[in-house]
A = this chain, B = another copy of it.
Amino acid sequence: MDRIDKRLLNLLQKDASRTNADLADEVGLSPSSCLRRIRRLKSAGIIDRTVAILNPAKAGRGLRAIVTVELERHGEQHMRRFLDLAAQEPAVTQAYGVSGQTDAFLILRLADMDEFDALCDRLLRDQANVARFYTMFVIKTAKEATSIPL
């Protein structure tokens, strides 16, 4: 992975819809060389996939919430069982098991408060193993990147 590969990755992380010829021109390569490099990055798994990113508000999911969860019992299988349940919820976009102040960590994308309430009932209140959970609603989004710095 040389400097040109990194530049290509940065460009593709910003906008993957550009044409190969366009990218090649920007990094100073011929189209075929550029294409071969990108294909190599894909087959090596460095580029995992390319996806469309939607505007949350226009897709009807403008409400974001962050939830920290403390479990009653802390065993490996209890943790996994909770995280698996959480991952199945479409509104849960990120679900982590963490070390530190709490056990698990969820990021939610919701249409409205009713959906939040329903999700809480289903995932957090009816779950016998959840000891406590704290919800923080996102007021201001300063940064929300899908890209990884290189």
So how many copies of this chain end up in the complex?
Answer: 2
What is the size category of the interface that chain A forms with chain B? 35 or more
The residue from B14, B51, B91, B147 contacting A13, defined by CB atoms under 8 A apart: B51
Beta-carbon contact of A137 and B61 below 8 Å: no
Beta-carbon contact of A49 and B17 below 8 Å: yes
Which chain B positions have C-beta within 8 A of A86? Answer: 142-143
A residues 15-38 in Cβ contact with B at 8 Å: 15-17
Beta-carbon contact of A140 and B79 below 8 Å: yes
Between-chain CB contacts (< 8 Å), 29 pairs: A9-B54, A13-B54, A15-B49, A16-B17, A16-B50, A16-B52, A17-B49, A45-B58, A47-B53, A48-B53, A49-B53, A50-B50, A51-B51, A51-B53, A51-B146, A68-B101, A79-B140, A83-B140, A87-B142, A93-B144, A93-B146, A94-B144, A96-B142, A97-B139, A98-B139, A99-B136, A100-B134, A100-B136, A101-B136
